[in-house]
Structure 1
Amino acid sequence: MKKLDLRALPAPEPLMQALAAADALQPGQALEVLTPLLPAPLLEALEARGLHWRSEPCADHGTWVAILRPAA
């Protein structure tokens, strides 16, 4: 599973890079993203694209988001 740590990037880069990586997922593939804040706009965009996601706060700051493109 690919991992992206986007916590050090200024806005809107975490959103843009996470969406680009999510859009590149093939059916059944998943991605882990670390963002500096709870990424509400990202989560809304993922839902609009039909992608599944789960998020949890990171112990060392930020938010962990798992993104899955469902199998066809």
Structure 2
Amino acid sequence: MILDNRGLEPPQPMMRTLAALAKLNQGETLTIINDRRPMFLYEQLDELGYRHETFAREDGSFEIRITKG
């Protein structure tokens, strides 16, 4: 599943992401695309036990792959 959060003002990207993550089953992955690195989201993901990887995209946005652990 891909969630495109580009063009949204904080805290909308984080709220949308957390809502989508709540629907995932163990081992499933959500990919989000954000205009900036979601620094506050990383803290939440770590606390909730999600694994995540961040990739810079050519257009200046960031792709974050989040797996429910």
Count of aligned residue pairs for this structure pair: 69
Aligned equivalents of 1:38, 1:63: Cα separation in 2: 6
> TM-score, with normalisation over the residues of structure 1?
0.89
Equivalent residue for 1:23?
22
Q: Secondary structure at the match of 1:7?
A: coil
Number of the residue aligned with 1:3: 2
* TM-score normalised by the chain length of structure 2: 0.92
Uncovered stretches (5+) of structure 1, i.e. residues with no partner: none
Q: Among all aligned residue pairs of Structure 1 and Structure 2, give the percentage whose two residues are the same amino acid.
A: 29
Partners in 2 of 1:23 and 1:54 — Cα distance?
18
Gaps of 5+ in 2: none
* Structure 2 residue aligned with 1:47: 46
RMSD: 0.9
